[in-house]
Structure 1
Amino acid sequence: MHRFTRTLLATALTATVMAGTAGWASGSTQQAVTGAPAGTAAWRADGLPDPERMTPAQTAAYFDGLTRAEQQRLLREHPDVVGNLDGVPPALRYAANSRASDGRFAGQQVLAYDPRGRGQAVLVYGDLVDAEHVAVIVPGSDVDAGNLAPLTRKATALREATGGRTAVVAWAGYTTPVGVGLDAASADLAEAGARRLVRFADGLAAVGAAEPALFCHSYGSVVCGLAAHELKARDLVAVASPGMRADDVAALGTSARVWAAKDPTDWIDRVPNVEFAGLGHGTDPTSPEFGARAVPAGDAQGHDGYFAPGTESLRTFAAIAEGELR
């Protein structure tokens, strides 16, 4: 009976979304990539500290205690670990990921690259350590190392809207759902993503980066909602959200300022804001009862139009990123 109820609700959610998106296909089930970076077995075999037993702060302290020659040796011999370990100095991670990805992201600052599964990647635009402000964009479905363009367009648009003053991170650092289906309706992938996002934010703090503003798009807002109570963040912005797995802002358990944006043409507005039998993501963050600060989005178009140049939503995002709105 429980399985039947879940299936029925998933069918209803999927049908609603498909009706609002001209028949967007139902998605396939994904297995979250979690745990230590690829290459950890060889790292441990060399007698190096276990990545799963170190916090990002401890990792930062460990690398700070190494000579430059020792750091470079680890980069050469263990690029998969060095490039994906939160707390390692960003410049070292960029060099390691350039080596590990065989030039796949030529000329870009790649803070993480994991080829397992569909692949994960984290790209940085600007000076992550020295910038006065940092923004992180957390994407929703269908984004992975092989499909970064929708995310990187948002990141570059936000950076340009701040006049290049804010360092912007395109964080495809978790396994996202594919299409619409049980994965998109459940919190399983978001829970795994939330743990990775918390560790990532801890890593930013460990290397001295500014406390970030997080822009959480679509299913990414579920990730941010589940991470919120542990997340080191100055602002959380739910963009085109199906819900954050919380009844209201207080239930997120965060001291961050919480914002929400949804435009009237977005199909997400037709997704039921319910949570039942583990499916659905709860209260609409743009509803008055949720209590988030409103981001004007009336001139955005569709589900991906919020970061379009010239929109009021992007101008507001830029002001949030730069700490101008309080």
Structure 2
Amino acid sequence: MQRRRLKRMLIGAFATCAVLADAGAAAAQAAASNEQVAISTPPAGADAWVKDHSLGRALPDPATAEPAAVAAFFASLTPAQQDQLAHAYPLVVGNLDGAPLQLRYRANALAVTAEVATARARAADKSLDADQHALAVSRANDCQALLTPGRQILSFDPRGRGLVSEVFGDLASAQRVSVIVPGSDTDLGHFDRSVEPLRSPAGMARALRAEEQREAPGTRTAVVAWTGYVTPVGLGPDAVTSRLADVGAPRLARLLGGLAQTSSPTAPPALLCHSYGSVVCGTLAPKLRGETTDLVVLGSPGMGVQNADELGTGVHVWATRNPSDWIGNVPYLEVGGLGHGADPTSADFGAEQIASTGAAGHMGYFADGTASLHNFAAIALGDYQAVSYRLS
């Protein structure tokens, strides 16, 4: 009973701070949101895939196969055999970290096309009520936009609110790679916005890559907009626990494992973790090994630790928060699994404090001309001398 009461108090504190700081009625409504169902299992078709012996051998189990084993398996196939699997199991191949990039793009185009047809058929169902009809139309439109020529969809899963990730640039030849890890309220329907694009992972990724090209036009770069986990909705119960981050972190680890097989940048991919995404990155960080990974947190509610040392030696942590970001008003604490620990922008946390001059609000860090966007690009490029620091 006491734990439930404390949970309600923390949720209320998060929501109240957000409402007061952002003057948003939507934030108050979001506080009552239902808990989300995390996705940890392989996508549709995985069971049939595991049972398929049409190639005369076992196919790598999507639930357990390491990206290196997946890469070795596909390297042993002919192009015709690869295409056969992509057409038979587009959702499996399209989400299989370690599979060839171009094959995944093709498989995901097939999967997205199928989802467009499914959503349109649902929208034509006369038995649907107005809300269900609107959701079906929205899903069809969101998916159709992903089929625009030139888009490189690295992963797609229509379950629940929908998961999708996209590559900007030539990932196979990139010298520097970055991954955007977004926070709450990101999903298929909010992955790419034509209005206020910087509120979406795709918009953030486009802005980062454009800045990288401005700062280092001779460097080949690629940015992955990764919405590969189920995020919290609003400031409800999920926002104050690490439950969804605990499921998302292994999925992010698999992405990085796949990139290690299918790309060869000069340094590990930089992780840019926004809002609740920094909880995901904080959960993953102690498990990272090898060459140091640059991990940038922006607008963070905490990383699940009290100081950067607890994140292990595999990461170099950078942090920023602009003065008008409402996230600075949430309780930076952790009690009984509720809350996300210390403020990464506090002086004693141990992260490098970078400037975000010009950024406004919780979603303004990738705006053109801001110090934050410049710094993100400089860090992603490995140009550390160009980074500007926050003044004390």
Amino acid aligned to 1:188 = R
Deviations 1:167-219 (A, max 9, x none): 00000000001111111111101111111101111111122332200100000
Q: Which residue of 1 aligns with 2:287?
A: 230
CA distance in 2: counterparts of 1:212 and 1:86, whole angstroms = 15
Q: Which of 174, 178, 198 is the equivalent residue of 1:131?
A: 174
Aligned pairs, number: 326
Q: Tell whether the 8 Å contact from 2:288 to 2:314 is kept in structure 1 after alignment.
A: no
Runs of 5+ unmatched residues, structure 2: 54-58, 114-142, 193-199, 386-392
Q: Which residue of 2 aligns with 1:310?
A: 369
Whether 1:38 aligns to 2:44 is yes
Whether 1:181 aligns to 2:236 is yes
Q: Which residue of 1 aligns with 2:210?
A: 160
Normalising by the residue count of structure 2, what TM-score does the alignment of the two structures yield? 0.81
Q: 1:18 offset after TM fit, Å?
A: 2.0
Whether 1:204 aligns to 2:254 is no
Q: Which residue of 1 aligns with 2:12?
A: 11
Q: Tell whether the 8 Å contact from 1:264 to 1:298 is kept in structure 2 after alignment.
A: no
Normalising by the residue count of structure 1, what TM-score does the alignment of the two structures yield? 0.97
Amino acid aligned to 1:134 = V
Task: Report which stretch shifted further, 255-264 or 27-36.
Answer: 27-36
Q: Which residue of 1 aligns with 2:119?
A: none
Amino acid aligned to 1:28 = N
- Identity, in percent, stands at 49
CA distance in 2: counterparts of 1:205 and 1:222, whole angstroms = 23
SS in 2 for 1:184: helix
Flag the 1:121–1:231 CA change in 2: closer, same or farther, 3 A: farther
CA distance in 2: counterparts of 1:231 and 1:296, whole angstroms = 26
CA distance in 2: counterparts of 1:76 and 1:283, whole angstroms = 47
Deviations 1:120-171 (A, max 9, x none): 0000000112100001000001110111121111100000001173200000
Deviations 1:228-284 (A, max 9, x none): 122366200001000000111110114221100100010011011011121110111
Q: Which residue of 2 aligns with 1:193?
A: 248
- 1:37-116 to structure 2, matched below 5 A, reads 37-47=43-53, 48-102=59-113, 104=144, 105-106=146-147, 107=149, 108-116=151-159
SS in 2 for 1:123: strand
Q: 1:96 offset after TM fit, Å?
A: 0.2
Whether 1:172 aligns to 2:227 is yes
Amino acid aligned to 1:4 = R
Amino acid aligned to 1:230 = K
Q: Once superposed, what is the RMSD of the aligned Cα atoms?
A: 1.4
Q: Tell whether the 8 Å contact from 2:358 to 2:369 is kept in structure 1 after alignment.
A: no
Whether 1:218 aligns to 2:275 is yes
- Following TM superposition, the consecutive aligned residue runs of length 4 or more in structure 1 with deviations greater than 3 angstroms are none
Q: Which residue of 1 aligns with 2:339?
A: 280
Q: Tell whether the 8 Å contact from 1:138 to 1:220 is kept in structure 2 after alignment.
A: yes
Q: Tell whether the 8 Å contact from 1:112 to 1:120 is kept in structure 2 after alignment.
A: yes
Amino acid aligned to 2:171 = L
Q: Tell whether the 8 Å contact from 1:201 to 1:231 is kept in structure 2 after alignment.
A: no
CA distance in 2: counterparts of 1:9 and 1:45, whole angstroms = 47
SS in 2 for 1:237: strand
Q: Tell whether the 8 Å contact from 1:60 to 1:88 is kept in structure 2 after alignment.
A: yes
CA distance in 1: counterparts of 2:313 and 2:225, whole angstroms = 22
Q: 1:19 offset after TM fit, Å?
A: 1.7
Whether 1:295 aligns to 2:359 is no
Runs of 5+ unmatched residues, structure 1: none
SS in 1 for 2:189: coil
SS in 1 for 2:188: coil
Q: Tell whether the 8 Å contact from 1:230 to 1:254 is kept in structure 2 after alignment.
A: no
